[in-house]
Amino acid sequence: MIEFGETLRKLIRIYLEKPELAGVALLVLLTLLFQLRSNGVFLSAGNLRGILGLLPEAGLVTIGVAILMICGEFDLSVGSTFALMPVSIALMTNSGVPFMLAMLLGLGIAAVVGFVNGFLTLTFNIPSFITTLGMLFIVRSLTVVLTGGFPPLLSSELPVGVFTQFVGPGGVLRASFLWFAGIALIAWAVLSGSNLGNWIQATGGFFDAAAALGVPVWRVKMTCFVICSTLAGFAGTIQVFRLGSPLPSIGDGLELQAVAAAVIGGTALTGGIGTVLGAIVGALLIRFIDNGLVLSQVDANWFKFAVGGLTILAVVANSWLRQTARRIN
Amino acid sequence: MITPLISVRNLHKWYSGVHALKGINLDVRPREVCGLVGDNGAGKSTLIKILAGVHRPDQGQIRIDGQLVDISSPKSAMRLGIETIYQDNSMVPTMSICRNLFVGREPLLFSIGGLGLIDHRRMREEAIQAVANVDLHLRSADALLSELSGGQRQGVAIARAMHFKSRVLILDEPTNHLSVKETTKVLTFVRMLPEQGVTGLLISHNLQHVFQSCDRVVVMARGEIVLDKAIEETSIDEISESL
Ligand SMILES: Nc1ncnc2c1ncn2[C@@H]1O[C@H](COP(=O)(O)OP(=O)(O)O)[C@@H](O)[C@H]1O
Ligand SMILES: [Mg+2]
């Protein structure tokens, strides 16, 4: 009994220091399950190509949302920014702006959305939940108005291959995956290895203490708002390049899926806790469930049920584990 | 007469209508431990938050070593050697001991415009050293703050202040929520500050604690200083009456 208590304590401690581990374990479990249920199709090259082709888009949004949540704020407008940036790029290139310049301007537009989110939230001291809920509608509306309701054409001359072409052995990966991997690596280095990352965790973990220790909390939060929006816009752009059509409606509902993915990956709603790896695992889990259910010939309408259940489970498990950790200490 | 380490003159602070400090004059001599007492709302925390750079005064001067200073941010207070341990917001509970010790002052491998990668090895070594220096025994520098007891947390806060070689250590009710044993440990530590060349400013509502560990006692009431005496020249009774 004592031994069991000791093991439990050790496990909980590991979990507290690495909140993404539960997600990793679940990922392994689901992989095995789907692999069996689909008679080996799940891990086949063709199927992996599909999953890994979609992952960068959801993954980048989740990384941004998770970083923002870690610093103690929310962004519900990511789904709208996801559409605004590619639509702006399509409109700009159609009116003769060179591709590279249009990309930079598009990133700038996404960054401005984040800046406005942060500026309003911090200046008027209102919950970012509200500010960004407003921006969700404003940015979506702007996107639809800009296009006049019809998706603009995406010129086939554009060098979108740097994001969409298949690369690597057997063409399992798209180039977008390399962009995603590179950005994820940088995000990981920043969050867990840099002083800025330390400030982000401190700001979300306990705002007053961080401020009293001289952390530039205002600038830290602004930076996270801008990172989050910019990643969302970039992710939407990759998706549009893959699909070939800048629909003004893309990314609808993505904000909540990204929050769910971040939470499933161990990010705390209350801020201060979370990792980049966790965000990726969360996004991957959702992709796995989406794909695995189809392969296992389960009615696809169970997808949202599974994501919802997992989200609640993750939060319940987190709060239970933290309470238990406090009790046994 | 020796130059006071901290000298505050005619300090005023308003919080949208509340006149929290009404012309404070206070001198703290080098290597003394000064006790600051007073009822809730007397303005003690406001005064030390101004010294720590968290709030700005609306009027008045602060001198350090006789030099007029502008403590515009927590960073500038730290640069002047003023470290503060707050009532309950010194530490980030969701972070490790190691990261907590260095928040805002991380040792970097390189930096570009103030941002850079943390030297984790150095941070860990210094964390272990800093914690050991204040005679605190912790399992690991990677444990989260939320796993520690109140006393251990104050221990880490003290370790941080000492590690960064503070000249002035301000402690705002550091023994709140601590067990008797932990309280004794913190008070003993405060008593030893002068030996380490550190000047102390201890806020407490427990007069026993102040008489145990301070050289001087300053009483505040409704934003003013109403009594300021050496410990030998006063008594718990006199202080109680002035409150
Ligand atoms: N951030 C603040 N905003 C508004 N009023 C405050 C703030 N901090 C303190 N006060 C007010 O200033 C007065 C002094 O408070 P404080 O310095 O915390 O006293 P003490 O620490 O002696 O209990 C009180 O009336 C308190 O309500
Ligand atoms: Mg107080």
Atom of ligand 1 at shortest range from CA of B21:
14
Tell me the three state secondary structure of residue B42: coil
Contacts of B106 in chain A (CB under 8 A): 195, 198
Q: Do B74 and A325 touch (CB under 8 A)?
A: no
Q: Which of A70, A188, A195 to mutate to test the interface with B (most CBs of B within 10 A)?
A: A195
pLDDT tops 60 at residue A171 = yes
The answer to whether residues A86 and A240 touch, using CB atoms and an 8 Å cutoff, is yes
pLDDT (mean) for A233-253: 94
Distance of CA B212 to the CA centre of its chain: 18
CA distance B238 to chain A (A): 35
Instruction: Give me the interface pTM, i.e. the ipTM.
Output: 0.90
CA of B46 to the centre of ligand 2 (A): 7
Rama region for A227: left / alpha / beta (φ>0; ψ in -120 to 50; rest): alpha
Q: Does B154 touch chain A (CB under 8 A)?
A: no
Sheet holding B59-64, edge to edge: B18-28, B6-15, B59-64, B67-69
Helix/strand/coil for B23: strand
Distance (Å) from CA B45 to ligand 1 centroid: 7
From A16, A202, A329, residue closest to B103, measured CB to CB: A202
**Arch. (CATH architecture) of B6-93+166-242:** 3-Layer(aba) Sandwich (3.40)
Contact with chain B for residue A209, Cβ under 8 A: yes
Q: DSSP characters for B152-216?
A: HHHHHHHHHHHHTT-SEEEEESTTTT--HHHHHHHHHHHHHGGGGT-EEEEE-S-HHHHHHH-SE
User: What is the overall mean pLDDT for chain A?
Assistant: 92
Cα–Cα distance measured from residue A179 to residue A106, given in angstroms and rounded to the nearest whole number: 17
**Cβ atoms of A12 and A328 closer than 8 Å:** yes
Spatial distance between the Cα atoms of B214 and A2, rounded to a whole number of angstroms: 46
Distance in angstroms (rounded) separating the CA atoms of residues A107 and A95: 18
For a substitution probing ligand 1, which of B21, B46, B84 has the most ligand atoms within 8 Å of its CB? B46
Q: Tell me the torsion sign for CA atoms A14, A18, A22, A25.
A: negative
Task: Assess whether pLDDT exceeds 60 at residue A257.
Answer: yes
Six token digits for residue A104 = 């930079």
Dump pLDDT digits (tens) for A88-137: 999 999 999 999 999 999 999 999 999 999 999 999 999 999 999 999 99
pLDDT of residue B147: 84
Rounded to an integer, the average pLDDT of A293-321 is 87
Gap from CA of B54 to ligand 1 centroid (Å): 13
Rounded Cα–Cα distance for residues B138 and A326 (Å): 16
Residue A42: how many CA atoms within 13 Å on its side-chain side? 22
Element (H, E) at B68: strand B67-69
| Domain residue ranges in chain B | 6-93+166-242
Interface membership of A210 toward B (CB under 8 Å): yes
Give residue-wise pLDDT tens across range B92-149. Answer: 999 999 999 999 999 999 999 999 999 999 999 999 999 998 888 887 888 889 888 8
Cα B38 to chain center, whole Å? 17
Of B74, B95, B120, the CB nearest to A202: B95
Domains and CATH numbers, chain A: 26-152+159-328 (1.10.3470)
pLDDT in tens, B187-224: 999 999 999 999 999 999 899 999 999 999 999 999 99
pLDDT tens for B12-59 read: 999 988 999 999 999 999 999 999 999 999 999 999 999 999 999 999
Could you please report the per-residue DSSP string of A102-124?
A: HHHHHHHHHHHHHHHHHHHHHHT
B104 vs A326: CB contact, 8 Å cut-off? no
Q: What is the rounded average pLDDT of the residues A36-49?
A: 89
Phi-psi region of A81 (alpha: psi -120 to 50; beta: other; left: phi over 0): alpha
Mutate to test the interface with B, among A13, A188, A206, A218 (most CBs of B within 10 A): A206
Instruction: Give the mutation candidate from B102, B103, B156 for the A interface (greatest A CB count, under 10 A).
Output: B103
Q: Is the per-residue pLDDT at A172 higher than 90?
A: no
Helix runs in chain A, H state only? 2-17, 21-37, 45-70, 78-94, 99-123, 128-147, 161-164, 175-193, 195-205, 207-212, 217-243, 254-264, 276-295, 302-328
In this prediction, residue A328 carries a pLDDT of 66
Residue A206 and residue B94: Cβ atoms within 8 Å?
Answer: yes
Is B183 an interface residue toward A (CB < 8 Å)? no
Q: What share of chain B is helix, strand, coil (3-state, %, to 5)?
A: 35, 30, 35
Q: What is the pLDDT of residues A132-152, one digit of tens each?
A: 999 999 999 999 999 987 888
Residue A273 contacts B, CB cutoff 8 Å: yes
